[in-house]
């Protein structure tokens, strides 16, 4: 049943709909709500038409309307000029107007009261006050009464005097409001809208618009001129730029404000015409005048320089005069511009481009008409005459004479036409000429300076600068492809080009083409020069410059290529002539060559220098290598080289390129090592060295493997990802492990594994081989196997997730989110537990909403926001905060989210939840306030509460024929309408609760579902509507109770009457929820009873519907989780969530803030994860993390001594390696199925198999058996039983 007490024209408020991914029940609720509102609005409109029909039939007996269709027809044909005037006594009318005139002239501050009084007369009595242009005759008419025709001139002069006085008052108010502009934008628009509507009540639309337009033009001119002339001295390019830089934001606000203002007053085309003529044309005229003035000054300055130059070269004054007089006409308007002046012009054009972009979307945003960008896409359907002119539609009266080819004519639409480019036409030839010279000049100077520094420097190392933030022109480049450090000379050149880029972007297909063409040509020359310089620098490696310069050249080439690609894309958007792709293609070729050169150089260094170690690899030496207490020198140096290369790649190159190069070098060097150690034939003393070397290689590779793998799947399942390089790395490591197993294992263990003691033949029963790429990781003591779960599970432990995340060369958002959600948000729980003492102190801040605007996000708020954005993982928020809420005893705070707690000191989690709920009900609050304003306007409540009362002397002069009833008396009669107002407001709140819950993010709904499960039985009975519904209504009550909060939330201005009524509505809602301690007042009972009479049991059914939506969503989440089990998240799901988070406000910044905190506390988090089971009671868990974002210091240069210290502890701790328990009984059986040829070769390389080996009797027997079976026998079994590695 619908509420029928008043005509409700509300619509469904779906502000948060796009922020979530609704499920099927939520979609059904949203669509049902839309359908309900459409039906309700249709019913209200129909009732309005019926009431209007009855009123017209009563007032005008000769106009009998039979149906609502007749009523619509009558409204369409109704015209005030066709109303039949009814006589009004001339003497009474004259007396009334004279009284108005006297009040305005003799009394102060009466204008606003008289305006409201006249509007009240017009609306209540149907009096149509004349709205004729100034200086024309008129007739005062009304649907009820009118003025007689005699002596109209006296009446006209009186009325003109009255409305002129009122017009001055309104214009002064508009002007004073524009000068102060201290109120909020919405309040200014409301004020100006009221003034314009009152002016339209007094004067015709055309006259009001002309007057307002002239006033706004003056404001625009004054604003621009004041901003430019505010600084002392002569006007120059710099002052013009700073003037427009400070004035353009204000101008954009004014344009937006006036479009909002006019859209409710005139049609869209007239609004756009107004903006064109008032703002865009005026701004263009002002900049044109300023540029012309600057051109004159610059021209004179250039002419003066010419004269001075000729004075030096010419001896005779007459000759100088002749030359000067000849130069002036020859140059015309062309003159020279310095680089600084070009930069100023470019900055000015950039401001206009940004302004153009802002106002471009205003028609679609405000007037709901296509922007001119969208219209240009559909411009092909507009027919043109042969001359190119658009065919304009004819009137229907001339339809018969229209030619057949003219039947598809279209009328040219009104568009926003910002012609600021026309102001630069006179400058275009000079700019086009000077931009080429300027670019060539500064690029040549920078390159020469760089070359001079290189010759004067002690070393040839290239000077590098950080590239932490890509410039605006390259925002489209992904973070994994952004170079980190580039050559300084290239950065300087590209910075200058970026500054001048707007000069080229200003070009459209029809204007300023010469500037763009010259800019493109100059950029091509610069790109070629930089390319040649980078090629020269790359040739200096390694003879003159270090490897770091080669990486820097590669990074710089990538940077330049990305920049010119971005230039091309930006120019393609505004013109059909893009930047020539020739330099970009050349850079792509250079990038490929340099990347191959870096990789190949590193591999050659490893092969020819580092791994050439005759002393260490003298396997036949009868002396032990350093008594078997250390690995080979070459292996240790190889490890240092890889670490140094890792440092250079990670600090200079784009992350993706860095990982590719390190992967190639690691794979190729491991291939060489695997080949060499497979051929080694060590003696007895050198066999332990083989084992130590291979163990060090495998441990070093494991340490590097975390850096080259960019995802968990790539680390755990390289063959499934089809990453051939990673797969080969695992293959080489497994080959090395097989060398270690067969070549260095104890003879007894080898014999027991590979020979059946009862028969001198190959074992017939080969065990199943558990071989897979990660095989080698699980047989190295103290390796990363502790960071992985069981091999069959193919899952990584929490410590492994953290190490993989922090080993990446950049903040990998996908991997970060996966790490946060991994293992039931274990890492998040540790972060929350570590910062659980952080409870916000809010005593110094005034309100909850101001806190949201004035405070930097904390760790708890950041985590809460990110997890609340994870709509595809609804349980994560509740799981992460459950333990935290219990330890901090915050569930009670959530249950007792009372009205008074919003402004007090409260925990961060509660504050975040409350802000989420406030944002979700903001639409309801706005709608209720809009309802208040409409009722106030209709019933005129409070019109004279804080203003002057209409004087009795004026009321006495109102003509009797008008039957005017004073508003004070009417208000007393209208006081009973509050019951209907409150009932409608409460109905809106209750009806929208299901939709609000449907639009809430699923993680929030599950959080309240989890909280509700922890409620006591008594508390659950108290809140049968559910905890979420309860808190939503409490939030709404809090906002309604405090009028200041409502104003701050919506930006609306509320008078005392509205605040009082909102407070009463808040009491009604509390009464419905049973929250009132005392019995409800009589007026509250009447409101609730009126709703129940119209809709029996409707309130209870709506609350149950809202509760069902919240619980069904949470229950579905639990059910889906139980079905899926603990299998983690797929890459596709993680990627979707990251994209969703990054599209939300602050999402990507929140993720980076969490990543930064994890980086700062890496060791602490590793310790907490390692003692996961005991961390709950560990005293170290109370350590507070650094919660403020501090800029990380620049990464230091590579320190080999630091790497040595770390390596001694992790990789090259020889005493630890020698004492390792290799578990030969588990390791050797895994090689029973290996290739027999490989096994025989490795077996033959053992020192025991050599002739003359010093063996004991038992060893001789075992060696003999092994030789007979594998090295001398050639049985069919041994030949056929060859199994390949899987």
**DSSP secondary structure letters along 123-145:** HHH-EE---PPTTS----EESS-
pLDDT at 923 over 50: yes
Of 156 and 135, which is predicted with more confidence?
156
Among 194-198, 688-692, 939-943, 1056-1060, the range scoring the smallest mean pLDDT is 939-943
pLDDT value, residue 302: 59
pLDDT value, residue 370: 56
Among 417-421, 588-592, 973-977, 1211-1215, the range scoring the smallest mean pLDDT is 973-977
Residue 488: pLDDT band (50, 70, 90) is very high
813 burial via Cβ count (<10 Å: 0-12, 13-18, 19+): buried
Q: What is the pLDDT of residues 122-135, one digit of tens each?
A: 877 777 777 777 75
Among 514-518, 1125-1129, 1228-1232, the range scoring the smallest mean pLDDT is 1125-1129
pLDDT at 1080 over 50: yes
Residue 1278: pLDDT band (50, 70, 90) is very low
User: How far is Cα 155 from Cα 148, in angstroms, rounded to an integer?
Assistant: 10
DSSP structural state of residue 810: S
Of 627 and 840, which is predicted with more confidence?
627
Q: Of 62-66, 155-159, 412-416, 860-864, where does the model show the most confidence?
A: 860-864
Query: What phi-psi label fits residue 512: left (phi over 0), alpha (psi between -120 and 50 degrees) or beta?
Result: left
pLDDT value, residue 829: 92
Residue 380: pLDDT band (50, 70, 90) is very low
pLDDT at 758 over 90: no
Long-range contact list for 722-728, CB < 8 A, 24+ apart? Answer: 725/663, 725/664, 725/667, 726/663, 727/773, 728/667, 728/670, 728/671
Closest CA to 824 of 797, 859, 843: 797
Q: What share of the chain in percent tops pLDDT 70?
A: 72
**Cβ contacts of 109 within 8 Å, gap of 6 or more:** 948
Of 949 and 243, which is predicted with more confidence?
243
Percent of the chain as helix, strand, coil, to the nearest 5 = 70, 0, 30
Mean of the pLDDT values across residues 1145-1161? Answer: 91
Tokens (6 digits) for 1249: 């198999």
Tokens (6 digits) for 364: 């679609």
Contact between residue 1025 and residue 1073 where contact means Cβ atoms under 8 Å apart: yes
What value does the mean pLDDT of the chain take?
77
pLDDT value, residue 30: 72
Angle at 1128 between CA 1127 and CA 1131, to 5 degrees: 125
Of 515 and 237, which is predicted with more confidence?
515
Query: Pairing state of beta strands 464-466 and 485-487?
Result: antiparallel
Of 657 and 771, which is predicted with more confidence?
657
pLDDT value, residue 395: 34
Of 242 and 1116, which is predicted with more confidence?
242
Q: What is the pLDDT of residues 459-487, one digit of tens each?
A: 677 888 988 655 555 556 788 999 999 99
pLDDT value, residue 389: 34
Q: pTM for this one?
A: 0.83
pLDDT at 1054 over 50: yes
Closest CA to 632 of 1202, 1242, 1217, 1199: 1217
Mean of the pLDDT values across residues 869-876? Answer: 91
pLDDT at 672 over 80: yes
Mean of the pLDDT values across residues 814-829? Answer: 93
Q: What is the pLDDT of residues 392-408, one digit of tens each?
A: 233 333 434 444 444 44
């Amino acid at each position: 049943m619908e509420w029928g007490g008043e005509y409700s024209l509300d619509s469904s408020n779906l502000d948060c709909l796009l922020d979530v991914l609704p499920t099927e029940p939520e979609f059904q609720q949203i669509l049902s709500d839309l359908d309900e509102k459409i039906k309700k609005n249709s019913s209200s409109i129909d009732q309005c038409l019926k009431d209007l029909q009855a009123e017209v039939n009563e007032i005008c007996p000769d106009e009998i309307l039979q149906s609502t269709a007749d009523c619509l027809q009558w409204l369409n044909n109704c015209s005030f000029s066709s109303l039949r005037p009814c006589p009004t006594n001339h003497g009474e009318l004259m007396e009334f107007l004279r009284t108005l005139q006297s009040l305005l002239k003799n009394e102060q501050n009466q204008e606003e009261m008289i305006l409201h009084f006249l509007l009240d007369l017009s609306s209540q009595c149907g009096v149509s006050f004349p709205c004729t242009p100034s200086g024309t005759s008129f007739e005062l008419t009304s649907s009820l009464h009118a003025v007689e025709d005699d002596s109209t001139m006296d009446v006209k002069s009186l009325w003109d005097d009255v409305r002129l006085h009122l017009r001055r008052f309104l214009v002064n108010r508009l002007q004073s409001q524009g000068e102060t502009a201290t109120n909020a934008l919405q309040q200014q628009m409301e004020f100006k809208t009221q003034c314009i509507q009152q002016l339209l009540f007094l004067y015709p639309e055309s006259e009001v618009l002309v007057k307002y337009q002239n006033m706004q033009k003056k404001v625009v001119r004054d604003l621009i001129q004041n901003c430019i002339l505010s600084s002392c001295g002569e006007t120059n390019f710099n002052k013009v730029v700073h003037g427009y830089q400070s004035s353009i934001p204000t101008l954009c606000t004014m344009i937006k404000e006036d479009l909002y203002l006019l859209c409710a007053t005139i049609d869209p085309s007239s609004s756009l015409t107004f903006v064109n003529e008032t703002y865009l044309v005026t701004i263009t005229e002002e900049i044109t005048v300023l540029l012309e003035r600057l051109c004159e000054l610059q021209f004179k300055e250039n002419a003066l320089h010419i004269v001075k130059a000729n004075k030096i070269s010419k001896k005779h004054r007459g000759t100088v005069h002749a030359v000067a007089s000849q130069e002036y006409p020859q140059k015309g308007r062309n003159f020279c511009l310095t680089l600084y002046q070009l930069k100023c012009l470019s900055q000015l054009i950039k401001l206009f481009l940004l302004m153009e972009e802002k106002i471009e979307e205003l028609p679609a945003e405000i007037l709901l008409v296509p922007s001119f960008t969208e219209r240009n896409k559909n411009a092909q359907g507009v027919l043109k005459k042969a001359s190119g002119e658009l065919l304009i539609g004819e009137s229907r009266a001339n339809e018969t004479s229209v030619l057949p080819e003219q039947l598809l004519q279209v009328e040219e639409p009104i568009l926003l036409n910002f012609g600021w480019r026309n102001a630069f036409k006179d400058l275009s030839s000079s700019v086009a000429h000077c931009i080429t010279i300027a670019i060539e000049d500064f690029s040549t100077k920078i390159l020469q300076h760089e070359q001079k520094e290189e010759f004067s420097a002690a070393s040839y190392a290239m000077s590098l600068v950080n590239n932490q933030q890509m410039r605006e022109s390259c925002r489209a480049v992904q973070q994994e492809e952004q170079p980190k450090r580039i050559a300084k000379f290239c950065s300087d050149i590209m910075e200058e080009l970026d500054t001048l880029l707007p000069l080229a972007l200003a070009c459209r297909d029809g204007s300023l083409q010469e500037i763009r063409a010259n800019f493109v040509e100059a950029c091509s020359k610069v790109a070629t020069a930089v390319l040649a310089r980078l090629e020269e620098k790359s040739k200096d490696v390694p003879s003159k410059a270090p490897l770091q310069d080669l990486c820097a050249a590669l990074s710089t080439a990538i940077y330049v290529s990305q920049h010119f690609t971005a230039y091309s894309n930006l120019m393609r958007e505004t013109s059909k002539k893009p930047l020539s792709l020739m330099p970009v293609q050349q850079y792509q070729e250079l990038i490929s060559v340099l990347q191959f050169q870096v990789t190949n150089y590193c591999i050659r260094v490893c092969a020819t220098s580092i791994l050439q170690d005759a002393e260490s690899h003298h396997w036949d030496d009868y002396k032990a290598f350093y008594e078997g207490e250390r690995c080979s020198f070459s292996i240790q140096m190889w490890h240092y080289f890889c670490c140094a290369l890792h440092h250079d790649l990670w600090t200079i190159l784009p992350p993706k390129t860095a990982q590719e190069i390190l992967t190639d070098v690691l794979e190729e060097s491991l291939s060489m090592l695997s080949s060499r150690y497979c051929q080694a034939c060590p003696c007895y003393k050198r066999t332990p060295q083989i084992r130590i070397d291979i163990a060090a290689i495998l441990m070093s590779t494991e340490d590097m493997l975390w850096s080259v793998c960019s995802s968990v799947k790539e680390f755990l399942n390289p063959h499934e990802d089809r990453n051939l390089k990673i797969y080969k790395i695992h293959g080489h490591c497994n080959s090395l492990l097989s060398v270690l197993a067969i070549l260095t294992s104890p003879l007894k263990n080898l014999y027991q594994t590979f020979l059946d003691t009862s028969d001198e033949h190959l074992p017939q029963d080969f065990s199943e081989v558990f071989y897979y790429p990660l095989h080698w990781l699980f047989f190295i003591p103290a390796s990363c196997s502790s960071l992985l779960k069981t091999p069959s599970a193919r899952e990584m432990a929490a410590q492994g997730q953290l190490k993989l995340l922090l080993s990446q060369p950049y903040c990998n958002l996908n991997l970060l989110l996966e790490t946060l959600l991994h293992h039931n948000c274990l890492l998040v729980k540790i972060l929350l537990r570590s910062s659980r003492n952080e409870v916000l102190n809010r005593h110094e801040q005034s309100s909850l909403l101001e806190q949201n605007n004035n405070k930097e996000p904390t760790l708890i708020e950041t985590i809460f926001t990110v997890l609340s954005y994870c709509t595809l993982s609804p349980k994560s928020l509740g799981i992460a905060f459950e333990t935290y809420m219990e330890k901090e005893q915050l569930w009670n705070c959530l249950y007792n989210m009372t009205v008074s707690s919003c402004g007090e000191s409260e925990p961060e989690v509660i504050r975040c939840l409350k802000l989420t709920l406030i944002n979700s009900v903001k639409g309801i609050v706005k709608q209720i306030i809009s309802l208040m304003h409409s009722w106030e306007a209709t019933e005129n409540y409070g019109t004279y509460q804080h203003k002057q009362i209409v004087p009795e002397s004026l009321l006495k002069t109102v003509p009797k024929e008008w039957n005017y009833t004073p508003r004070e008396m009417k208000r007393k009669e209208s006081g009973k309408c509050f019951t209907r107002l409150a009932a409608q407001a409460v109905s809106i709140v209750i009806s929208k609760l299901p939709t609000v819950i449907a639009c809430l993010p699923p993680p929030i709904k599950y959080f309240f579902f989890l909280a509700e499960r922890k409620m006591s039985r008594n508390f659950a009975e108290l809140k049968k509507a559910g905890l979420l519904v309860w808190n939503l209504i409490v939030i709404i009550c809090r906002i309604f109770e405090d009028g200041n909060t409502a104003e701050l939330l919506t930006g609306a201005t509320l008078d005392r009457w509205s605040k009082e009524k909102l407070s009463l509505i808040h009491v009604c809602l509390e009464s419905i929820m049973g929250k009132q301690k005392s019995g409800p007042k009589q007026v509250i009972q009447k409101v609730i009873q009126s709703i129940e009479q119209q809709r029996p049991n409707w309130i209870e059914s709506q609350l149950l519907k809202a509760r069902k939506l919240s619980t069904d969503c949470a229950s579905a989440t639990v059910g889906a989780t139980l079905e899926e089990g603990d299998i983690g998240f797929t890459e596709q799901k993680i990627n979707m969530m990251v994209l969703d988070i990054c599209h939300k406000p602050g999402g990507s910044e929140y993720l980076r803030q969490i990543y930064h905190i994890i980086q700062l506390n890496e060791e602490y988090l590793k310790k907490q994860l390692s003692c996961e089971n005991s961390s709950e009671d560990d005293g170290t868990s109370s350590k507070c993390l650094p919660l403020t974002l501090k800029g990380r210091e620049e990464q230091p240069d590579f320190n080999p001594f630091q790497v040595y210290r770390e390596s001694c502890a992790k990789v090259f701790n020889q005493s630890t390696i020698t004492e390792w328990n290799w578990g030969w009984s588990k390791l050797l059986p895994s090689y029973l199925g290996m290739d027999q040829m490989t096994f025989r070769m490795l077996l033959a390389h053992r020192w025991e198999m050599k002739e003359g080996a010093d063996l004991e009797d038992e060893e001789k027997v075992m060696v003999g058996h092994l030789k007979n079976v594998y090295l001398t026998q050639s049985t069919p079994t041994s030949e056929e039983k060859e199994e390949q590695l899987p």
